[in-house]
Amino acid sequence: IPKGAVHIIHEHAARAAFTVGVDYAPALTGFQFKGRQGTAVLNGIVVAREFEAAIRSVIDGLADVEQEMEDERKRLAALKMWRRLLMGLRIRERIWSGVDEGERKEADREAEMEAELANAESDVTDEFDMVVDDDGEGG
């Protein structure tokens, strides 16, 4: 690293330096060899020391914006799932509105029994799954 410069290792370092408007260079930190070819490994940027604080502040701001975008995406996904649940409940209520109470209870009981059977463990194990070939030797 040249005198008066600093190496900033961060995935958003180049974008932050570009945003601030300072000169920077990608930091060549080594080479990766695969077969007979060597490929340069760029990791972070090299920038003048007087701009380090500004770039780190912008990096923090970019990380905050990225976190806010992730939170917003999760919030919208949760709202979409709630909407789907409520729409399903409305449809269910509309379907069951014309059915008498006894038939409704019977259907609920059958649904619970089917759910219990679906969640029950099987008494058949995988160790007996054998394939018999034409020679009668198995395997």
Confidence (pTM): 0.55
Indicate if 73 and 115 belong to the same structural domain: yes
Indicate if 54 and 68 belong to the same structural domain: no
Indicate if 68 and 105 belong to the same structural domain: yes
Chain CA centroid to CA 125, Å: 34
Residue range(s) defining the domain that contains residue 94: 63-119
pLDDT digits (tens, 9 = 90+) for 39-97: 887 778 888 888 888 888 998 999 999 999 999 999 999 999 999 999 999 998 888 88
What pLDDT does 90 receive? 93
Residue 40 bridge partners (DSSP): 31
C-alpha 42/C-alpha 37 separation (Å) is 16
Look at residue 95 and tell me if it is in a domain.
yes
Indicate if 56 and 100 belong to the same structural domain: no
Indicate if 109 and 79 belong to the same structural domain: yes
Query: Residue 26 belongs to a domain with what CATH number?
Result: 3.30.70.2460
Q: How far is CA 34 from CA 30, 41, 43, 51, 84, in A?
A: 13, 12, 18, 36, 50
Look at residue 18 and tell me if it is in a domain.
yes
Q: Which residue has the higher pLDDT, 137 or 88?
A: 88
Q: How far is CA 130 from CA 76, 122, 134, 136, in A?
A: 49, 18, 13, 11
Look at residue 137 and tell me if it is in a domain.
no
Q: Which residue has the higher pLDDT, 89 or 31?
A: 89
Indicate if 57 and 9 belong to the same structural domain: yes
Task: Give how many domains the chain has, as a whole number.
Answer: 2
